[in-house]
């Protein structure tokens, strides 16, 4: 079947049948059918390879009950013929109806109370409850990611949430303030409370049938307004909201997570219980404003946000006397002052801090002023678990790479954690990883640096090596076969190893640790030293992952090992090693290849033998020179010796002759 | 010191007296030897070497030529007449001078022969050393001779492996 790409011998994806109405911002939808279940009502979302996929969420979302969430079936990596590369696809049930809001500017019929409750909030609350039970958050609840479950539009379901990092496609005003303050890519996994806020704003869309903010939105001003006067008022604006709905919206859009409505509150509201609407809880106001960049900021959160955003000038402000008096005398809560002292030190420490340390000082002070805000350093505002997706999405952006590296090296996370009033067990994994990474960044060799950070912080990121990026290697066992595929290609790169492959291996495999990588960083004069170091790593991976023979890769490595073979001085030994290498290449097993060249003792013996042979050859040359000289002067040498010989011969003959004569006469 | 030197002179004088006495009593023998050993005396006179190889060489053979006539003198009649008879015989001269000539011949030929033998021995040794050098180069490659390490095996090995990579598997 032309244009059909099969996943796991089960799902047939029709690459000629795109479904643009079901596209996600970072994934393209195609028609799909399930051979096993004989089901044609599937879609395959082809994921953008540049964007990390929430693979762990896909695995947890299978067999999701109810109809409040698009039904995930499976996922996998397929060779996508149209662009000649491998890409991840997520298979899911096709929504029965269309998208509720085709864009944020779309205008729909306002939703009736009955539909809102039965068709949206009831399944939505059940879905969020089930997600929470499974330890997941949706983080893509927005009007444009809602679908009718059927053609008759009786209820609404959430769209997919796995083809991009959490909340990356969420408009800032649909996210809670803490999330909106972070860079889009660095909003982090978040949790149920974030989903509830998004549910509130989405409900507002459905109630109004349109975007409450209109078409032109100044997101920065909106965020400042939200910080100053709470999210509800700036977002709802002049729109008229029925009183009973207002209660729901105020509860869900509460900026204080402790006050925000939970699933139980929604259930009670659905059940008919009505309460007095909560008044928005405004952030603490200072007795006098703090001036940053010529503007006055009246509450602590807005001051912290302004300091972080204006970081190049904020260092000077923080070290100034005015900031100190603002901190000591204008804040209503002494705990803020205590937090600043705890993180940034006392007044003397702050004043004496070096000019070069100002960005760190700004980060620490803004962190202490607003402990719930993302950590902001040099213009990058990130939640603890948002730094990984940020690095993944901006890995080729040198300025962002630099920001991420400085963020990691700043070791702000432990300080941020110490300021939190509630424990955040969900962040412990990211925290422990970030604590290890400054040491990784210190080392510059392959397997370290930002590449290592990329794979440590994004556990499901595929290997981004230019050699094999198109093959979408997500697991260690896929690496050697991918390199084999490269070896079988028409153009073979210089060596089957680079910084990405090394970092990917050490981050993903327990079989390869830092000891294997260090030789890659050492510039050795030994012939093929780098090739042998690479071979040692790949041989181990091939053996431990039981990849089987890889003839192309073995031949590739063998070609790189030629200098090592030629380094043997003893020609007989060299021919023997060559023969062994050829035999090992034929097996396709890199361990055999390694055995044939990685014999340190043989190399040492060869070196010693060669040195002796050179010395002996030199001695031969000296002796020949000496003897040639003797030969030229043989007459001189023979003259004296000849006279001696003549004397001896004459003496002997004379003695014998005399004896014979005497005997003759006596006889 | 002075008495030691006087004693040595006295000893030399005593030995000189005895030798002179001996010569007086063996004058016919002295005559034969004196005449017969003339080539040796001549060789001694022209021999500039301290070791006196020429004198030894010629003298040894010359003595063999003179010895039969001295014995003949002693065994037949140790007298001047007999000594003159012997000296008057041309065969005597032929023997004595011939033997001395053989001594001269040995002296002249030996250095050439020695030079030849020496050259042969050196050439054999050089051949042996060159063979060893060839063996070393065969075993360890031209690099062992200290020349530039251009090894033909390397280029051929490269070509082989390139072919493998071109058509892997």
Q: Which of A559, A578, A634 sits opposite B119 (nearest CB)?
A: A634
Tokens of B57: 């060489």
Size of interface A-B (CB pairs under 8 A): 181
- Is A34 within 8 Å of A73 (Cβ atoms)? yes
Task: Report whether pLDDT(A648) > 70.
Answer: yes
Examine the domain organization and report whether A87 and A122 are in the same domain: no
User: Over 80: is that where the pLDDT of A277 sits?
Assistant: no
Contact between B123 and A649 using a beta-carbon 8 Å cutoff = no
Q: In this predicted structure, what is the pLDDT of residue A141? A: 97
Say yes or no to pLDDT of A353 above 90. Answer: no
Mean pLDDT of A649-660: 93
The boundaries of the domain holding residue A661 are 633-667
Residue A180: name the closest of A317, A99, A301, A318 by CA. A301
Residues A587 and A511 in one domain: yes
Question: ipTM more than 0.85?
Answer: no
Nearest CA in chain B to A608: B140
Residue A280 CB neighbours (<10 A): 17
- A491: Cβ contacts below 8 Å, ≥ 6 apart: none
Amino acid B123: pLDDT: 94
Same-domain pairing of A138 and A78: no
Tell me which chain A residues have a C-beta less than 8 angstroms from the C-beta of B119: 631, 634
Q: What does DSSP assign to residue A168?
A: T
Q: Output the CA–CA distances (angstroms, integers) from residue B111 to A118, A255, A632, A646, in the order listed.
A: 131, 121, 15, 8
Please tell me whether residues A149 and A225 are part of one structural domain: yes
> Does residue A139 contact residue A170 with C-beta atoms inside 8 Å?
yes
Integer Cα distance of A547 and A554 in angstroms: 13
The span from the CA of A514 to the CA of A440, in Å, is 10
Comparing CB atoms, the residue among B107, B138, B164 nearest residue A646 is B107
* A322 belongs to a structural domain: no
User: Looking at the structure, do residues A471 and A586 belong to the same domain, yes or no?
Assistant: yes
Flag whether residue B101 sits within 8 Å of chain A, measured between CB atoms.
Answer: no
Is residue A187 situated within a structural domain? yes
Residue by residue, DSSP assigns A424-472 as -GGGHHHHHHHHHHHHHHH--STT-HHHHHHHHH-TTPPP--TTTGGG-
| A466: number of Cβ within 10 Å | 9
**How many angstroms separate the CA of residue A81 from the nearest CA in chain B?**
24
A residues 491-510 closer than 8 Å to B (CB): 492
Whole-number Å distance between alpha carbons of A483 and A557: 11
Inspect the interface and report whether the beta carbons of A646 and B144 lie closer than 8 Å. Answer: no
Ramachandran area for residue A588 (φ above 0: left; ψ -120 to 50: alpha; else beta):
left
What pLDDT does A467 receive? 95
**Is B106 at the interface with chain A, CB within 8 A?**
yes
Mean pLDDT of A185-202: 96
Q: Are strands A11-18 and A39-47 parallel, antiparallel or unpaired?
A: unpaired
Q: Where are the beta strands (DSSP E) in B29-146?
A: none
Mean pLDDT, rounded, for A310-330: 91
Residue A282 has a pLDDT of 75
End-to-end CA distance of chain A: 129
- Taking a contact as any Cβ pair under 8 Å apart, which residues of chain B between 69 and 88 contact chain A? 71-72, 75
> For residue A393, how far is the Cα from the chain centroid?
9
| pLDDT at residue A600, rounded to an integer | 84
Average pLDDT, stretch A40-53?
94
Q: Which residues of A touch B156 (CB under 8 A)?
A: none
- Asked if residue B150 has pLDDT above 50, the reply is no
Q: Is A107 on the interface with B (CB under 8 A)?
A: no
Put simply, the chain A residues between 203 and 262 with a CB less than 8 A from any chain B CB are: none
- Predicted TM-score (pTM) of the model is 0.79
Shared domain for A122 and A256, answered yes or no, is yes
pLDDT for A214 equals 84
Q: Are residues A82 and A120 in the same domain?
A: no
Could you say which of A588, A610, A644 has the minimum Cβ distance to residue B144? A610
CB contact under 8 A, B164 and A565: no
Q: Does B2 touch chain A (CB under 8 A)?
A: no
Task: Verify whether the Cβ–Cβ distance A658 to B49 is below 8 Å.
Answer: no
- From A289, A283, A287, A307, select the one nearest A367 (Cα to Cα): A307
Average pLDDT over residues A619-630: 93
- Cβ within 8 Å of residue A70, ≥6 positions away: A92, A93, A95, A147, A157, A158, A159, A160
| pLDDT of B125 | 95
Q: Would an 8 Å CB–CB cutoff place A490 in contact with chain B?
A: no
pLDDT at B147: 59
Predicted confidence (pLDDT) per residue in A540-585, tens digit: 999 999 999 999 999 999 999 999 998 899 999 999 999 999 999 9
Per-residue pLDDT for A411 more than 90?
Answer: yes
Q: Can you give the CATH number for the domain in which A33 is found?
A: 3.30.200
Mutate to test the interface with A, among B111, B112, B136, B137 (most CBs of A within 10 A): B111
How many domains are contained in chain A?
4
Cβ proximity of A573 and A541 under 8 Å: no
Residue of B nearest to A656 (CA): B64
Question: Residue for token digits 């008044």?
Answer: A279
* Model confidence at B76: pLDDT above 80: yes
Give B119→chain A minimum CA distance, Å. Answer: 6
Residues in chain B: 169
- What is the rounded radius of gyration, in angstroms, for the C-alpha atoms of chain B? 35
In a domain, A294, yes or no: no
Query: Stretch A331-343: mean pLDDT, rounded?
Result: 87
Q: Please state which of the ranges A456-465, A466-475, A625-634 shows the lowest mean pLDDT.
A: A625-634
For chain B, percent helix, then strand, then coil, each to nearest 5?
Answer: 85, 0, 15
Average confidence (pLDDT) over A99-117: 94
Name the maximum alpha-carbon separation found in chain B: 115
Contact (CB, 8 A) for A585 and A560: no
**Do the domain assignments include residue A339?**
no
Q: Which of A243, A302, A308 is nearest to A276 (CA)?
A: A243
The stretch B58-84 carries a mean pLDDT of 92
Chain A interface, best mutation among B96, B135, B165, by max A CB count within 10 A: B165
* pLDDT of amino acid B148: 42
The radius of gyration computed from the CA coordinates of chain A, to the nearest angstrom, equals 38
Whole-number Å distance between alpha carbons of B167 and B155: 19
Quick check: A22 and A93 in contact, CB under 8 A? Answer: no
Query: Which residues in chain B have Cβ-Cβ distances shorter than 8 Å to A588?
Result: 169
CB B59 within 8 A of CB B43: yes
Nearest-Cα distance to chain B for A627, in Å, is 6
Contact B129 A631 (CB under 8 A): no
- For the four alpha carbons of A515, A520, A521 and A522, in that order, the dihedral sign comes to positive
Under 8 Å between Cβ of A589 and A609: no
User: For the segment A165-191, what is each residue's pLDDT rounded down to a tens digit?
Assistant: 999 999 999 999 999 999 999 999 999
| A158 touching B (Cβ < 8 Å) | no
Using 50, 70 and 90 to split pLDDT, how confident is the model at B153?
A: very low
- Rounded to the nearest integer, the mean pLDDT of chain A is 92
Closest CA to A252 of A260, A264, A244: A260
Average pLDDT (A272-296) is 81
- Kindly determine whether residue A627 and residue B129, on different chains, have CB atoms separated by under 8 Å: yes
The answer on A584 and A469 residing in a single domain is yes
- CB contact (8 A) between residue B161 and residue A658: no
The per-residue pLDDT for range A118-168, each reduced to its tens digit, is: 999 999 999 999 999 999 999 999 999 999 999 999 899 999 999 999 999
Cβ contacts of A630 on chain B, cutoff 8 Å = 118, 122
Q: Are B74 and B32 in contact (CB under 8 A)?
A: no
Nearest Cα of chain B lies from the Cα of A596 at a distance, in angstroms, of 15
**Average pLDDT of the residues in A495-520:** 93
Place of tokens 């952006």: A397
Tell me whether residues A647 and B114 touch, CB distance under 8 A.
Answer: no
Asked whether the predicted pLDDT for residue A79 surpasses 70, the reply is yes
A161-170, A445-454, B156-165: segment of lowest average pLDDT: B156-165
State whether A665 and B58 contact (CB < 8 Å): no
Rounded CA gap, A457 and A430, in Å?
7
Same domain for A659 and A570: no
**From CA A4, how far away is CA A17, in angstroms rounded?**
9
């Amino acid at each position: 079947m032309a244009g059909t790409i099969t996943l796991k011998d089960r799902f047939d994806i029709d690459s000629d049948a795109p479904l643009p109405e079901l596209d996600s911002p970072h994934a393209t939808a195609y028609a799909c059918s399930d051979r096993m279940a004989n089901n044609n009502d599937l879609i395959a979302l082809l994921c953008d390879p540049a964007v990390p996929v929430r693979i762990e969420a896909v695995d947890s979302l299978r067999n999701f009950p109810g109809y409040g969430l698009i039904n995930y079936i499976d996922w996998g990596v397929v060779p996508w013929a149209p662009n000649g590369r491998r890409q991840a696809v997520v298979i899911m049930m096709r929504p029965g109806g269309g998208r509720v809001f085709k864009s944020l500017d779309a205008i729909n019929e306002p939703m009736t109370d009955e539909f809102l409750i039965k068709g949206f909030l009831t399944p939505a609350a059940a879905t969020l409850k089930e997600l929470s039970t499974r330890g997941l958050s949706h983080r893509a609840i927005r009007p444009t990611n809602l679908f009718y479950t059927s053609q008759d539009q009786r209820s609404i379901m959430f769209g997919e949430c796995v083809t991009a990092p959490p909340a990356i496609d969420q408009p800032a005003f649909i996210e809670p303030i803490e999330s909106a303050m972070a860079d889009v890519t660095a909003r982090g996994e978040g949790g149920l409370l974030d989903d509830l806020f998004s549910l509130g704003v989405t409900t507002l869309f459905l109630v109004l049938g349109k975007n409450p903010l209109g078409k032109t939105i100044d997101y920065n001003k909106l965020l400042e307004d939200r910080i100053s006067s709470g999210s509800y008022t700036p977002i709802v604006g002049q729109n008229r909201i029925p009183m009973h709905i207002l209660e729901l919206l105020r509860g869900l859009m509460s900026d204080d997570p402790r006050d925000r409505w939970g699933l139980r509150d929604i259930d009670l509201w659905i059940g008919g219980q009505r309460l007095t609407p909560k008044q928005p809880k405004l952030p603490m106001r200072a007795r006098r404003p703090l001036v940053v960049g010529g503007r006055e900021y009246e509450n602590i959160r807005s001051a912290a946000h302004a300091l972080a955003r204006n970081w190049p000038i904020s260092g000077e402000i923080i070290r100034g006397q005015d900031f100190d008096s603002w901190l000591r005398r204008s804040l209503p809560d002494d705990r803020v002052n205590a937090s600043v002292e705890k993180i940034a030190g006392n007044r003397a420490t702050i004043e004496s801090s070096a000019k070069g340390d100002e960005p760190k000082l700004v980060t620490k002070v803004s962190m202490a002023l607003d402990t719930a805000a993302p950590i902001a350093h040099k213009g990058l505002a990130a939640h603890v678990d948002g730094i990984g997706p940020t690095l993944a999405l901006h890995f080729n952006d040198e300025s962002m790479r630099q920001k991420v590296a400085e963020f990691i090296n700043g070791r702000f996370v432990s300080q941020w954690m110490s300021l939190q009033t509630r424990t955040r067990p969900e962040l412990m994994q990211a925290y422990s990883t970030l604590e290890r990474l400054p040491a990784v960044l210190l080392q510059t060799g392959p397997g370290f640096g930002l590449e290592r950070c990329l794979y440590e912080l994004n556990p499901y990121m595929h290997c981004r090596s230019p050699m094999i990026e198109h093959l979408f290697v997500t697991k260690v066992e896929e690496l050697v076969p991918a390199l084999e595929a490269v070896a079988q290609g028409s153009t073979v790169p210089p060596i089957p190893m680079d910084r990405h492959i090394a970092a990917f291996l050490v981050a993903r495999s327990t079989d390869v640790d830092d000891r294997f990588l260090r030789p890659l960083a050492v510039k050795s004069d030994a012939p093929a030293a780098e090739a042998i170091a690479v071979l040692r790593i790949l041989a181990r991976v091939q053996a431990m992952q039981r990849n089987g023979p890889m003839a192309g890769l073995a031949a590739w490595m063998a070609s790189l090992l030629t200098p090592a073979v030629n380094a043997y001085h003893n020609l007989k030994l060299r021919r023997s090693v060559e023969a062994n290498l050829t035999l090992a290449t034929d097996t396709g097993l890199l361990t055999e290849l390694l055995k044939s060249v990685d014999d340190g003792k043989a190399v040492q013996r060869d070196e010693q033998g060669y040195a002796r042979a050179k010395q002996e050859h030199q001695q031969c040359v000296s002796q020949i020179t000496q003897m040639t000289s003797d030969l030229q002067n043989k007459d001189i040498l023979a003259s004296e010796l000849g006279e001696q010989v003549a004397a001896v011969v004459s003496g002997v003959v004379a003695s014998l002759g005399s004896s014979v004569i005497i005997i003759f006469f006596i006889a | 010191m002075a008495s030691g030197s006087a004693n040595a002179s006295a000893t030399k004088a005593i030995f000189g007296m005895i030798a002179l006495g001996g010569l007086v009593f063996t004058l016919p023998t002295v005559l034969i030897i004196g005449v017969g050993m003339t080539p040796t005396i001549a060789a001694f006179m022209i021999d500039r070497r301290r070791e006196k190889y020429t004198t030894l060489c010629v003298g040894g053979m010359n003595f063999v030529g003179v010895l039969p006539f001295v014995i003949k003198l002693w065994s037949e009649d140790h007298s001047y007449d007999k000594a003159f008879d012997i000296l008057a015989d041309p065969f005597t001269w032929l023997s004595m001078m011939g033997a001395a000539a053989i001594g001269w011949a040995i002296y002249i030929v030996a250095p050439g022969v020695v030079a030849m033998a020496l050259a042969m021995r050196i050439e054999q040794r050089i051949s042996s050393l060159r063979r060893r050098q060839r063996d070393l180069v065969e075993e360890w490659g031209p690099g062992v001779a200290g020349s530039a390490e251009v090894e033909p095996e390397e280029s051929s090995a490269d070509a082989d492996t390139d072919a493998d990579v071109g058509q892997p598997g």
